[in-house]
Chain A
Amino acid sequence: MTQISNISTLQQSLGLRQIVSRQTAEADQLRQEVASGLKHDVYSHNAPAATRSMEVRVHRATNSAFLQSNQMLQGRLAAMSESMADIVQIGRSFLDLSLSGAIMEGNRDVYRQQARHTLGQMSTLLNATYGGEFMFSGQTTGTPAVQVVDAPPAPVGVVYTGSAQPVTARIDDTTVLHYGITASHEAIRTMLDAIGMAVNADLEAMTEEQFQALRAQVAAQLDSGLQSLTAVQARLGSQQQILDDRIDRQHALETLYTREVADIEGADVEETAVRLQSMETQLRATYEVTARMGRMSLLDYL
């Protein structure tokens, strides 16, 4: 007997419904990808790459936090550098005064007053703050760095109220920057001691030779302090350069990380749009076939 292969009416209908359902779901996913520019499911696309993407996101967040923190530090170092330049300038002015022959017997008091004024200016600069924190107080940024004690008959003096421990800053995952200078640094101490010598000496009682010897001693000590401070300034400049370089690198990393995440998570919009168009064409064809098959029946001819 001749076998007639059977196509079940129910299977025919279910098959078409299944095709429409799959194509609709796929078209929906493609639409989402085109709209968002991101892959619908990164893990099913490439699970190891998705894990890498998460790691890169963490690196990017950390890098971004370092970048912000370093930009603040950059401002702090610039303020510190400016204050130090001012200190050097004030010190150099007093050095010039000490070396010049302008101070005569009759105006030695002017020299002392100038020394006292210089001490006050330096103390003000050493107690400068940035963002509410004392810059030259070492790790005790909440307390002033120095205090000038001027209570006659005791000699005028400078008390170091800050910490001798220099401040540090982590500027990336692996680098800790020991930056700046504390008010109790040897160079500053030498300068302040030299100026203190001029403030506290009994200038009126000195002979001209003794006064010249004092000025020479003050000038020598001040010069020594200034030279050391210039070296510290150079180190601070170098630290600023390191920080600037690190910030540049972190900007570059930010771009790289963002690109890597986009490469992994992003959908190729052009390719997805083409696939979507093709899928919509297929879907239209399936609807057409479904409608035609629904219309064809032997019942219409009986």
Chain B
Amino acid sequence: MEQRQESASNQAQPQGKADAKLNRREFFRTAGRGLGACLLAGISGRWLWMRVKDDPGFSPQTVWKIDPGLCVQCGQCATACVRTPSAVKAFNDENLCSNCVVCYGHIRNHGAPSPEIDRQPKVCPQNAVTRIPFAGGMDGYYLYRIDEEKCVGCGLCVQECNHRGSQSMFLMIRPDLCLGCNECAIARVCPQQAISRMEGSQLAAAQG
């Protein structure tokens, strides 16, 4: 519209070459603007269409996760994270834990008698794995809890538990501690490519 008005005024008062040049420049600018707007609308539209089509309950953000099947507990998670201490923590899944009297993720000297176990040298260098006698008796159940304040995510307990024990321990990127860097520093050094991005909605779905 603006373009037409300008050209009309130019026809009414022809100013010569300079105005024609200006006019052409204006035309290119308008065309470029339209092109740019179309490009942006296209990108956004395609993205939205794809999301709405694929899964209706999408989340606005993506988060980082560790695939426990790929993880080999190399220990990089403890050092590579941009945070100190790392956002990666070890957890013990109570559903899988056998509640053993002697835990491979807890102590190294597996022959120690039960009352002596708390005084044995621990697997965890931070002494984050604690043994909680639940039933009270000598041969009762024991809960193993990993203190998340002490845990640095080195994965030594996870390694022991996965190689010899009931494979109930695993490493996890705590979503509330993760800074959500666009390029995860741990993913960059992970030898197994076990760390990947996923949609936040999947995280919410996994929580139930």
Chain B binds chain A: no
